[in-house]
A = this chain, B = another copy of it.
Amino acid sequence: MDISEDALLGAIRKVLSGPGPEVRVGVGDDAAVVAPGTGDLVLTTDALVEGTHFTLPTTTARDLGYKAIVVNLSDVAAMAASPRYALCALTLSPSVDAAWVMELFGGMREACDEYALWLVGGNLARGSEVTVGVTAVGEVAPGRASTRSGAHPGDVLVVTGDLGAAAAGVRLAAHPPRAPSAEERAASRRLARPVARVGEAGVLAAHAASAMIDVSDGLALDLSRLCEASGVGARLEVGAVPVAAAATVAEALGGGEDYEILATLPDAAAATAAADDLREAFGVELTTIGTITGSGLVALTPDGDESPLQPTGWDHFRDA
């Protein structure tokens, strides 16, 4: 690194959140100090690791910083909470220089500004690969956090937006088309700059969502997790799954990093009302893709066949 740790921290401090109404002590002390509200706190951490989640030649530092924040906010959103504070834990390798790090923090700052998040502290370490770890803290009214475990048989299964774009983006990065279509460019953009459905999740919670999870590891796998946590089953109408323009059905079912919200609502009327609200407030579609059952995961294909739904998706340790 072409700069000392303290000099780098000084430079970083300038692009980060200073003290403010909620932040008593920001970046630069042993720890940050914040004055929280009266709600419950939602705590989550997620890391982007070089070689696993990104490579330096194919990712800009700015996109990487932005995404590291958003993937955490997607987990905050899935609890129906509002983003409050974040910390970043950065491992830097000799492959990156101070300018790269400043760009990374610029991307984090961009996401923080968009989502009204205070980046209040962090840590720098040296390693042989770059890791961008973020911890996000959200707030939710006491006892009102939405979990994975509240789904009941008879609930309808809904998902925000569309699925498979990020998986299509990965495919397109591996085999770049000579002249990418607008849809293909959008898929690549979606992979680089995901959206955390913070406001959307709040609307779903207001419509009495019984369970929520963010689709980070693939619809089939995340649905299986929701069902396992709730002790229920599900019947997924494959033909109803909203597939992103550049994606395949397989990418929509098994691809990771969509960061849409998968939720269960008490009935079709709630799903219709929530869909109207989401469309009006955010221009985002909400699609009913199945129902919750007593047990078992079943995929109903458009031609009427039923088969067990394989909970495949992103597993960090499979085949390792």
Contact = CB atoms under 8 A, between A and B. Distances in A.
Given A5-B315, A52-B126, A45 B214 contact: no
Contact of A31 (B6, B42, B50, B94): B42
A184 B229 CA distance: 50
Given A315-B5, A315-B6, A32 B49 contact: no
A198 interface: no
What's the number of copies of this chain in the assembled complex?
2
A121 B44 contact: yes
A292 B128 CA distance: 40
A133 B32 contact: no
Interface residues of A, number: 76
Contacts of A35: 40-41, 142
A85 B43 contact: yes
A158 to B, nearest CB: 17
B79 A30 contact: yes
Interface string A1-31: 1011110100000000000000011001111
A225 B42 CA distance: 32
Given A43-B85, A89-B135, A131-B131, 16 more contacts: A1-B316, A4-B317, A24-B145, A28-B229, A29-B149, A31-B42, A31-B76, A34-B40, A34-B41, A35-B40, A45-B122, A47-B133, A52-B125, A52-B126, A52-B127, A129-B129
